[in-house]
Chain A
């Protein structure tokens, strides 16, 4: 198999996940996009490991071992991430990452005008 097929698919999937991370507003959808990016990297690791395990001798199957580690770390990441999202949802009542501006400079958390400039700022950066 031509090595460009898995490599191009991994690049496309990674950029799809990148778009999702940048464009999505719900925190859980952002986590899904992060999973897509991690899977793209996993596909690269497996493809290059399969290639190198034939082309070279002493590769120790490092690509597949690293893929297993990445999958396990992704599972840990999704658990911690969802726990954080649920904690934020219980504290703030929203999982909308555009509204999580507690650490933003210039606006107090109880400032009634904080929403409108924040929205304007988001529009301006867009």
Chain B
């Protein structure tokens, strides 16, 4: 184990020094420029996501941030991760979030109380941790280059092979976890629906329809 780690470190060090010899600090490549531009877009969208006063706009800016991250994965030659990111995050997670905003009757326009009172404490913590993290990361990886030439490091073939050769057991455990999460979400929603139907007294048409559906569901369970 330690031998492997040592060999890994040696090889990494050798590659790093080799890479450092034909890279310059102030001569960015095209990929780096593209990464920087898309990264600026992503970071800006993320900042707007956490600062905008309009809740639906926050979800839509989150789409921009997550899509920008998918482009960053493509630039890092991790194609499969990029498309999974597009499918799951942009396709389903943001839609789920929008549904959540809709179901909790979030205001459509500007809501002045979107930020809580401890905004300045949060800003202090975030800026301090950003400064510390960026300083540490830049200091640690000053002389490290990623070699993006050659075959893609994360094509579907490579990722699938490694996933189903070396990571089968975690993969299967993850499917069980997803099933548990699905069942848990259904259980949480059903309990809330039954309780809401039990306490609903307003004779509104949607309310009565919900109550009817809830009783039908209960009978279905029995």
Q: B-contacting residues of A (Cβ < 8 Å)?
A: 1-9, 11-20, 22-26, 28-29, 31-33, 35-36, 39, 42-43, 46-47, 49-62, 64-65, 67-69, 71-80, 82-87, 89-91, 95-98, 119, 122-123, 125-126
Do A86 and B97 contact each other (CB < 8 Å), given the known contacts A5-B36, A24-B50, A75-B88? no
**B43 and A16 contacting across the interface, CB-CB below 8 Å:** yes
Report chain B residues within 8 Å CB of A62. Answer: 166-167
**B81 and A64 contacting across the interface, CB-CB below 8 Å:** yes
Report chain A residues within 8 Å CB of B117. Answer: 98, 119, 122-123, 126
A15 to B, closest residue via Cβ = B130
Q: Does B215 belong to the interface (CB within 8 Å)?
A: no
Do A46 and B178 contact each other (CB < 8 Å), given the known contacts A13-B46, A65-B167? no
Q: How many A-B residue pairs have CB under 8 A?
A: 303
B28 to A, closest residue via Cβ = A2
A-B contact pairs, 24 of them (CB 8 A): A1-B148, A6-B146, A19-B123, A24-B115, A32-B59, A32-B97, A35-B62, A35-B93, A36-B46, A42-B81, A46-B73, A51-B147, A55-B147, A56-B12, A61-B158, A61-B162, A64-B159, A67-B78, A71-B89, A72-B174, A76-B181, A82-B99, A97-B116, A123-B117
Do A68 and B84 contact each other (CB < 8 Å), given the known contacts A2-B144, A83-B185, A87-B188? yes
**A80 and B184 contacting across the interface, CB-CB below 8 Å:** yes
**A23 and B76 contacting across the interface, CB-CB below 8 Å:** no
List the 10 closest pairs (A to B, CB-CB), nearest first: A20-B50, A22-B122, A76-B181, A19-B126, A15-B130, A23-B122, A61-B162, A11-B133, A126-B118, A83-B188
